[in-house]
């Protein structure tokens, strides 16, 4: 049986550093570990429709995330990239899980409560998000799910659903584990809060170089003068720089901070160039892919075909277990 790693990103706008370091880089790390032999990577377009209501916008966002994923150095021999909406058994499994889990339990979801508190429309899709996510993970009997800290509770909900199903109908689901790395669990945005589209504090990976430079200059800092010693452990510029810099560059920067040998303005300039340099190979590859839509369609249809094959085998067994067959 395969040892499966699964991950997905919602197409709701351009990819930012939080998505990359929270969910994409861990995927790359795991793909270098031999114990995982299958990687299921999907564009979560069914999750998006509770907020993105315009068809062309959804299509454009979806294409963007596909390009973003393919511009990474994914090992396509063991990775299936696909659109969530191509998996026929997924909504059926969501429905089965809906009948297993209580409303009171789902009402505890932090993400749901936050979204409603922030004035988001509380449609059923938003409320049921964790159940669809549980189906995303469990349908393939995934072992591990690389995510940022914000998704930890959703993984716990998937674990609860798996256990409840197993005790109700007999052992079937593997209990999936989150893969959350301490240093990238919560990537901070320009204002020091969690980087998030809803806080308008993001740095997008593929925006223009000038726009990245301009955004970095807006990072909030305290008002220490250029020659005053600064605290590298308590600085929004350093919080991002730490994710990207090579160890020797990082220690030079930390010393300069402590000695008062660098201004925040200079530190921001270094950060902006480091971001651009870090993502340059991905930017180049993405540019090449833009000319190659046939190749992209082939990858997506092969990805969906192989994911559907696993999904179909499992849903047949699930139907048998619950008496639908």
Binding residues for ligand AMP, per CB under 6 A?
9-10, 18-19, 22-23, 147-148, 150-151, 184, 186-187, 194-196
Minimum gap (Å) between residue 251 Cβ and ligand AMP: 24
In contact, 144 and 176? CB cutoff 8 Å: yes
Q: Which residue has the CB atom at the shortest distance from ligand AMP?
A: 22
Nearest distance in Å: CB 134, ligand AMP:
15
Query: Could you tell me the smallest distance in angstroms from the CB atom of residue 246 to ligand AMP?
Result: 21
Closer by beta carbon to ligand AMP, 23 or else 174: 23
Q: How far is Cα 94 from Cα 288, in angstroms, rounded to an integer? A: 37
The smaller minimum CB distance to ligand AMP, of residues 168 and 183, is found at 183
**Residue 2 phi, psi dihedral angles, 5° rounding:** -70, 150
Which long-range CB contacts under 8 A does 112-119 form with residues at least 24 apart?
Answer: 118/198
Q: How far is the CB of 29 from ligand AMP (least distance, A)?
A: 14
Residue among 23 and 300 whose Cβ is closer to ligand AMP: 23
Q: Are 147 and 180 in contact (CB under 8 A)?
A: yes
User: Cα(52)–Cα(61) distance, rounded to whole angstroms?
Assistant: 9
The least distance separating ligand AMP from the CB of residue 65, rounded to whole angstroms, comes to 9
Query: How is residue 20 annotated by DSSP?
Result: I
List of residues 6+ apart from 82 with CB closer than 8 A = 40, 41, 42, 43, 300, 303, 304, 307
Cβ distance to ligand AMP smaller for residue 162 or 186: 186
Give 296's DSSP letter.
H
Closest CA to 214 of 263, 272, 136, 170: 272
Which CB sits closer to ligand AMP, 187 or 270? 187
- By beta-carbon proximity to ligand AMP, the closer residue of 69 and 264 is 69
Nearest distance from residue 53's CB to ligand AMP, in Å? 17
What number of CA atoms fall less than 13 Å from residue 279's CA on the CB side? Answer: 27
């Amino acid at each position: 049986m395969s040892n499966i790693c699964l991950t997905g990103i919602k197409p709701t706008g351009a990819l930012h550093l939080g998505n990359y370091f929270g969910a994409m880089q861990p995927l790359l790390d795991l793909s270098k570990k031999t114990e995982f032999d299958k990687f299921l990577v999907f564009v979560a377009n069914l999750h998006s429709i509770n907020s993105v209501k315009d068809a062309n916008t959804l299509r454009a966002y979806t294409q963007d995330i596909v390009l973003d994923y393919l511009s990474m150095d994914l090992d396509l021999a063991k990775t299936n990239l696909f659109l969530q909406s191509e998996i026929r058994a997924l909504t059926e499994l969501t429905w089965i899980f809906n009948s297993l889990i209580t409303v009171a339990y789902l009402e505890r979801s932090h993400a749901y409560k936050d979204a409603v508190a922030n004035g988001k429309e509380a449609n059923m899709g938003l409320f049921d998000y964790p159940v669809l996510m549980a189906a995303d993970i469990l349908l393939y009997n995934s072992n591990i799910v690389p995510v940022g800290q914000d998704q930890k509770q959703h993984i716990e909900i998937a674990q609860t659903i798996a256990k409840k199903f197993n005790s109700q109908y007999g052992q079937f689901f593997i209990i999936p584990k989150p893969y959350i790395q301490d240093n990238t669990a919560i990537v901070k945005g320009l204002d020091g809060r969690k980087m998030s589209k809803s806080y308008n504090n993001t740095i997008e990976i593929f925006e223009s170089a000038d726009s990245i430079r301009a955004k970095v200059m807006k990072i909030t800092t305290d008002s220490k003068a250029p020659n005053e010693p600064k605290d590298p452990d308590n600085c929004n510029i350093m919080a991002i720089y730490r994710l990207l810099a090579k160890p020797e560059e990082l220690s030079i920067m930390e010393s300069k901070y402590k000695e008062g040998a660098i201004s925040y303005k200079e530190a921001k300039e270094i950060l902006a160039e480091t971001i651009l340099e870090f993502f340059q190979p991905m930017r180049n590859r993405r540019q090449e892919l833009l000319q190659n839509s046939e190749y992209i369609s082939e990858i997506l249809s092969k990805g969906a075909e192989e994911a559907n094959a696993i999904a179909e085998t499992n849903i047949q067994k699930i139907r048998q277990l619950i008496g639908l067959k």
